[in-house]
Structure formats: C-alpha cells, structure tokens
C-alpha cells in the first residue's frame, strides 16, 4: 500500500488524512474543529515526511480561512458532504511542484473538449459490460499493468484490487476473447454518499470504440441503485479521450489539480469532473 489513513485526534480538532509517500503529498479528507490548529500540525507533519503538496478537501464555509493561511483553490466537488460542496484547497511546499510546464497543452485539450459536440449515445460493438468479482482481480491487474507504467495506488497488484472490492469499490469491465480490454471502478464514500469514478483503463487498440462511456454509464446506474447521487472523477489533464468521455456524459468541469499524482508515465495534473446523478 502506498497510502495510510491516519486519524489525528486532538482536544481542539479531529482530522483524517493520508500520507501519500509515492505521490509526495499529504491529503486531508475530513476534519472537525479548529482549522488553524489543525493546519499548523498538518504542515509540520507534511514537512517531516518530505511532502511537496498539502491538499485539504474543505467545506465551502472554510475557504476564506484557508486562503488566509496561504492555501489556493484548485478544484471543486458539488454536493460532496451530504449536499454541501467540497473544495480542493492546496498549499505547495516546493516551488517546483507548483510549476506546470504542460499548462498550455492541458488548456488546449480542455478547450477542445468543452467546445466539442455532446454525444450522449452510449453503445459499443463488444459484449456488454460486466460487474467484476474476486475471480477477476488477476485479469484486472493485468490490464492495468499493460496500461499504466506508474499509478497513484498499487492497481497492478490483484491483492490490492481484492482489498478494494472488499471495502465496497465496484469494478466493471469489458472483455474480448477472454481478455479484459477496458475497466473502470467506483470508489464509494458511504459516510457522505458520493463516489469517485476511477481506475479507468482501455487497451490502446480499443480506445476509439467508446468502451469507457459504456463502463461509466453502468457504474452510474449501480451508484443510483445504492442511493449515491454525487459522482466525480479526476481525469488526466493530458488525456483528450478521458476528458471528452466525461464531458459527453454530462459531467461538469470543476478545476485542475496541478501535478497531483504519478500516473501513466510521470507526475501529472488532473482535471476535476462532477455530475449529479439524481437527474438521470
């Protein structure tokens, strides 16, 4: 595992955070209490583990307070906290991490996607998407090994995928001749009833066949059945195909997380896409 969830309990605040050593960042997913005291301790922890970036999923009411502590706003998730929005507030501990040499290319891709025509039709010539079970973990891991040289979490390991399934993450896949050629997952936050669509991968030779939109649509149906109506995803800012897939499925662009994680073959920025599934 590259991450470890830690609960920080103090008299004046509680916080839940990840020490993400692979991606050299510290991320606070939830908190309660005195934010100034929390931030001071979190900053010290981040320095101690040589993190280059701190990310706080903050509530909208706390934006100004964190701006006053030197944070900047990079992204937004509508209705994340039981209907209240979550905001990605970020502080950089190293200037190099903040510099984005791919910004112009990312902007070109985003503008091209946002100006493209909507194409809501979801179909493929391949067999229908299937919900994965424990017996599919090895084949899923093989797909991810072929697709990503590096990834923010150990998705190449079938035991990791099995652990994720046991924790409630849902995987869907499409296969051809017994081989999984495309897959995606929904990581459900049961506390706040939202889900991140992630682990999206398609074999290169099948990337123009519309497979990912089929998988994402099936995951959305599953989430609605589970009473989860806030769906979001972080898509590689340099991937025209993934960003267009979310746009065509009516996801709304909500910002970009600069040099957020190591994915595909390098440290990359991630675009935030959000959808309210209650209107499905």
What are 238-278's pLDDT values in tens digits?
999 999 999 999 999 999 999 999 998 899 999 999 999 99
pLDDT-derived band at 111 (thresholds 50, 70, 90) equals very high
pLDDT-derived band at 120 (thresholds 50, 70, 90) equals low
pLDDT-derived band at 125 (thresholds 50, 70, 90) equals low
* pLDDT tens profile 26-85: 999 999 999 999 999 999 999 999 999 999 999 999 999 999 999 999 999 999 999 899
pLDDT at 44: 97
Tokens of 123: 């179909």
Query: Taking a C-beta distance cutoff of 8 angstroms, is the pair 198, 233 a contact?
Result: yes
Query: Taking a C-beta distance cutoff of 8 angstroms, is the pair 175, 130 a contact?
Result: yes
SS3 track for the chain: CCCCEEEEECCCEEEEEEEECCCCEEEEEEEEECHHHHHHHHHHHHHHCCCCEEEEEEEHHHHHHHHHCCCEEEEEEEEEECCEEEEEEEEECCHHHHCCCCHHHHHHHHHHHHCCCCCCCCCCCCCCCEECCHHHHHHHHHHHHHHCCECCCCCCCHHHHHHHHHCCCEEEEEEECCEEEEEEEEEEECCCCEEEEEEEEECHHHCCCCHHHHHHHHHHHHHHHCCCCEEEEEEECCCHHHHHHHHHCCCEEEEEEEEEEEEECEEEEEEEEEEEHHHC
Q: Is the pLDDT of residue 2 over 60?
A: no
Return the higher-pLDDT residue of 223 and 2: 223
Residue range 131-159: mean pLDDT, rounded:
96
């Amino acid at each position: 595992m590259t991450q470890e969830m830690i609960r920080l309990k103090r008299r004046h605040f509680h916080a839940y955070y990840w020490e993400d050593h692979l991606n050299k960042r510290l991320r606070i997913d939830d908190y309660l209490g005195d934010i100034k005291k929390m931030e001071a301790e979190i900053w010290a922890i981040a320095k101690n583990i040589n993190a280059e970036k701190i990310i706080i999923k903050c509530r909208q009411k706390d934006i100004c307070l964190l701006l006053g502590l030197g944070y900047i706003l990079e992204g937004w998730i509508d209705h994340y906290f039981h209907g209240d929005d979550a905001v990605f507030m970020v502080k950089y501990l190293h200037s190099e991490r903040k510099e984005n040499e791919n910004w112009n290319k990312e902007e070109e891709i985003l503008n091209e996607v946002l100006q493209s025509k909507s194409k809501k039709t979801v179909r493929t010539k391949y067999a229908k998407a299937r919900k994965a079970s424990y017996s599919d973990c090895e084949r899923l891991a093989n797909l991810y090994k072929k697709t990503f040289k590096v990834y923010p979490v150990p998705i190449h390991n079938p035991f990791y995928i099995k652990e994720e399934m046991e924790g409630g993450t849902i995987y869907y896949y499409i296969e051809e001749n017994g081989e999984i050629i495309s897959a995606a997952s929904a990581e459900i936050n049961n506390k706040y009833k939202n889900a991140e669509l992630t682990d999206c991968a398609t074999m290169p030779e099948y990337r123009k066949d519309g497979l990912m939109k089929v998988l994402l649509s099936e995951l959305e149906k599953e989430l609605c059945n589970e009473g989860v109506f806030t769906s979001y995803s972080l898509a590689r800012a340099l991937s025209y195909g993934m960003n267009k897939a979310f746009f065509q499925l009516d996801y709304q662009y909500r910002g970009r997380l600069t040099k957020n994680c190591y994915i595909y073959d390098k440290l990359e920025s991630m675009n935030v896409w959000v959808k309210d599934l209650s209107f499905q």
